[in-house]
């Protein structure tokens, strides 16, 4: 029985049966040729968790395809476009304060107490036309009863410094909104690239977890085979069952990570169903296409968010000037035309005034002073925002450049660590097969190999992410 067990263990180690030691001596018959042996034991394993995750309902196979979905469905992009439109509308409102205005009014009046007397009233400038006009006597046209009146007033601003500064402020705000739109595109490009890389790495992680589970199940089957041959113990089987359960747990958590990554990509692309990648798509080609749609900036100050903050500071400065200009007088030219209905005939136009109006703001209760203080405070807030963003961008550039080198170094270390762990697991498994290793050694080496493989996938993702961040931190995207 012992000889048969040793022969079976040598089969597992890949040694031929003829390698068994023989005894020779006087009178001993010459050794016979070894009989053909069966191949080493190859366990057949199966488990429901070995089945891969189902493909996502929505899949993208290129950067252009993902970007098209982003343009159509992104709420952040639509909100940024709406802010640009709002800023353009506010600028048009500010411009209207410097353009001529033309207003008209029409009315009908009837004297209930004395219909034969018609009063014509209307304000023209600071005065008006009023008085009683009788309908009897005279041969000329008389006001009708009821009386119809019409007034047309035109006004042209000649000097309004506050309105001019408000226009400059609105123009700066519109430019800031346009720059913020570019910043939104830059941020969305980064989010999309990171989400695509996260989905790709999660899919790779899911595959690695299943390979590790299959390896753990094969080790368990080997331990059970040794137990059947009488060379193993129940403790070996229990330990390897624990190792297989740990591998199953990693499969479950890895699948959940993949599903979460698909949901995140779906949110970015504005889809209600999970979004995944087409099988076999190259992440390098995917992200290289995304980088081609952005351009490096010659100076960090040209980055959209920094330029937008400076435009907001400029707008705040014009707001201060507009508030201070409320203390100045305004000058406008006005013209008024007044007419009323007559009988016989249709209408008469007795008045057409042309004049100028100078408005002197003496006192309004201190509201102007309050607006000046408020505008100055907002200007200081905008100034500090510029300083903070500039400092943050400088540190961000330095950190992202450093993180690229760190991520690449960790990837190299992770690659070597995975190779060493794989070799250690192979040797430990061979030792266990021939009976010189313990199940504890096998479990420890298997856990180390799993962790090394998972770490390698994470390091690859970190390298992609670091390169994306390093590129976008000094880039502008205009798609």
Residue 56 CA to its chain's centroid (Å): 21
Q: What is the pLDDT of residue 42?
A: 64
Report the C-alpha gap between 385 and 10 in whole angstroms: 74
Rounded percentage of the chain residues whose pLDDT exceeds 90: 61
Q: Assign 223 a pLDDT band (cuts: 50, 70, 90).
A: confident
Question: Both tokens of residue 209?
Answer: 């977890």
Residue the block writes with tokens 């070995």: 50
| Domain with 460 in it | 46-100+160-329+370-477
Instruction: Say what the pTM is.
Output: 0.77
* Of 231 and 129, the one with more pLDDT: 231
Mean pLDDT of 352-365: 93
Q: What is the pLDDT of residue 40?
A: 55
Looking at the predicted structure, is the pLDDT value of residue 130 above 90?
Answer: no
Where b means 16+ CB within 10 Å and e means fewer, 437-462 reads bbbebbbbbbbbbbebbbbbbebbbb
Looking at the predicted structure, is the pLDDT value of residue 65 above 80?
Answer: yes
Looking at the predicted structure, is the pLDDT value of residue 283 above 50?
Answer: yes
Report the C-alpha gap between 430 and 449 in whole angstroms: 15
Q: Assign 46 a pLDDT band (cuts: 50, 70, 90).
A: confident
Where b means 16+ CB within 10 Å and e means fewer, 54-75 reads eebebebeebeebbebbeebbe
Q: What is the pLDDT of residue 97?
A: 93
Q: What is the pLDDT of residue 138?
A: 53
Report the C-alpha gap between 243 and 213 in whole angstroms: 9
Report the C-alpha gap between 158 and 367 in whole angstroms: 24
Handedness of CA 439, 440, 446, 447 (dihedral sign): positive
Mean pLDDT of 176-201: 94
Among candidate residues 438, 236, 224, 19, the one with its CA nearest the CA of residue 6? 19
Question: Both tokens of residue 206?
Answer: 């899911």
Read off the CATH number of the domain in which 76 is found. Answer: 1.20.1600.10
Looking at the predicted structure, is the pLDDT value of residue 27 above 70?
Answer: no
Examine residue 357 and state whether it is found in any structural domain, yes or no: no
Examine residue 299 and state whether it is found in any structural domain, yes or no: yes
Q: What is the pLDDT of residue 421?
A: 93
Residues 326-350: tens digit of each pLDDT:
999 999 999 999 999 998 888 899 9
Outline where DSSP puts E strands in 44-97. Answer: 58-60
Examine residue 12 and state whether it is found in any structural domain, yes or no: no
Report the C-alpha gap between 118 and 135 in whole angstroms: 7
Among candidate residues 248, 375, 398, 278, the one with its CA nearest the CA of residue 317? 375
Q: What is the pLDDT of residue 39?
A: 53
Question: Both tokens of residue 165?
Answer: 């500064």
Q: What is the pLDDT of residue 327?
A: 94
Mean pLDDT value across the chain? 86
Lowest-confidence segment of 3-12, 111-120, 171-180, 376-385 by average pLDDT: 3-12
Examine residue 190 and state whether it is found in any structural domain, yes or no: yes
* Of 128 and 185, the one with more pLDDT: 185
Examine residue 183 and state whether it is found in any structural domain, yes or no: yes
Q: What is the pLDDT of residue 17?
A: 40
Looking at the predicted structure, is the pLDDT value of residue 123 above 80?
Answer: no
Looking at the predicted structure, is the pLDDT value of residue 30 above 80?
Answer: no
Residues 252-271: tens digit of each pLDDT:
999 999 999 999 999 999 99
Mean pLDDT of 182-200: 93
Q: What is the pLDDT of residue 291?
A: 84
Examine residue 273 and state whether it is found in any structural domain, yes or no: yes
- Cβ-Cβ contacts under 8 Å for 42 (sequence gap 6 or more): none
Looking at the predicted structure, is the pLDDT value of residue 114 above 90?
Answer: no
Mean pLDDT of 22-26: 43
Q: What is the pLDDT of residue 266?
A: 95
Looking at the predicted structure, is the pLDDT value of residue 450 above 60?
Answer: yes
Residues 79-88: tens digit of each pLDDT:
999 999 999 9
Looking at the predicted structure, is the pLDDT value of residue 143 above 50?
Answer: yes
Lowest-confidence segment of 32-41, 253-262, 299-308 by average pLDDT: 32-41
Q: Give me the number of domains the chain comprises.
A: 1
Examine residue 297 and state whether it is found in any structural domain, yes or no: yes
Handedness of CA 129, 131, 132, 133 (dihedral sign): negative
Report the C-alpha gap between 155 and 180 in whole angstroms: 37
Rounded percentage of the chain residues whose pLDDT exceeds 70: 87
Pair 60, 273: CB distance under 8 Å: no
Looking at the predicted structure, is the pLDDT value of residue 3 above 60?
Answer: no
Report the C-alpha gap between 289 and 310 in whole angstroms: 31
Q: What is the pLDDT of residue 303?
A: 94
Q: How far is CA 68 from CA 63, 72, 85, 273, in A?
A: 9, 6, 22, 16
Examine residue 242 and state whether it is found in any structural domain, yes or no: yes
Report the C-alpha gap between 436 and 284 in whole angstroms: 45
Looking at the predicted structure, is the pLDDT value of residue 353 above 90?
Answer: yes
């Amino acid at each position: 029985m012992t000889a048969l067990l040793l022969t079976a263990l040598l089969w597992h180690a890949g040694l031929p049966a003829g390698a068994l030691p023989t005894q020779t001596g006087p009178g001993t018959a010459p050794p016979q040729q070894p009989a053909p042996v069966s191949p080493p034991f190859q366990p057949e394993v199966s488990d429901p968790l070995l089945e891969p995750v189902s493909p996502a309902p929505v899949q993208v196979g290129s950067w252009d395809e993902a970007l098209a979905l982003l343009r159509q469905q992104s709420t952040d992009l639509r909100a940024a476009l709406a802010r640009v439109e709002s800023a353009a509308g506010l600028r048009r409102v500010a411009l209207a304060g410097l353009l001529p205005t033309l207003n008209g009014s029409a009315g009908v009046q009837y004297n209930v107490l004395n219909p034969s007397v018609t009063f014509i009233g209307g304000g023209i400038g600071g005065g008006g036309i009023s008085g009683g006009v009788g309908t009897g006597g005279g041969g000329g046209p008389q006001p009708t009863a009821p009386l119809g009146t019409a007034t047309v007033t035109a006004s042209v601003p000649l000097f309004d410094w506050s309105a001019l500064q408000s226009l400059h402020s609105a123009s700066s705000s519109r430019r800031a909104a346009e720059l913020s739109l570019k910043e939104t595109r830059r941020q969305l490009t980064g989010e999309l690239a990171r989400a695509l890389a996260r989905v790709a790495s999660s899919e790779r992680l899911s595959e690695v977890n299943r390979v590790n589970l299959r390896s753990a199940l094969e080790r368990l089957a080997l331990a059970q085979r040794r137990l059947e041959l009488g060379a193993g113990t129940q403790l070996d089987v229990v330990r390897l069952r624990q190792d297989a359960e740990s591998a199953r747990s990693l499969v479950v958590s890895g699948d959940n990570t993949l599903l979460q990554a698909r949901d995140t990509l779906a949110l970015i692309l504005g889809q209600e169903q999970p979004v995944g990648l087409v099988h076999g798509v190259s992440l390098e080609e995917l992200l290289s296409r995304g980088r081609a749609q952005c351009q490096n900036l010659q100076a960090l100050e040209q980055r959209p968010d920094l330029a937008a903050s400076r435009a907001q500071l400029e707008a705040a400065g014009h707001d201060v000037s507009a508030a201070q200009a409320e203390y100045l007088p305004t000058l406008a030219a006005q013209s008024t035309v007044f007419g009323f209905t007559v009988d016989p005939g249709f209408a008469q136009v007795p008045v057409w005034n042309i004049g100028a109006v100078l408005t002197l703001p003496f006192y309004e209760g201190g509201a102007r002073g309050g607006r000046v203080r408020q505008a100055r405070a907002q200007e200081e807030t905008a100034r500090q925002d510029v300083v903070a963003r500039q400092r943050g961008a400088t540190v961000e550039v330095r950190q992202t450049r450093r993180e690229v080198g760190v991520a690449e170094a960790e990837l190299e270390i992770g690659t070597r660590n995975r190779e060493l762990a794989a070799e250690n697991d192979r040797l430990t498994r061979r030792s266990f097969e021939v009976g010189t290793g313990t199940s504890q050694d096998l479990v420890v080496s298997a856990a180390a190999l799993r962790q090394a493989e998972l770490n390698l996938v994470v390091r690859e993702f970190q390298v992609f992410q670091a390169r994306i961040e390093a590129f976008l931190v000094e880039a502008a995207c205009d798609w």
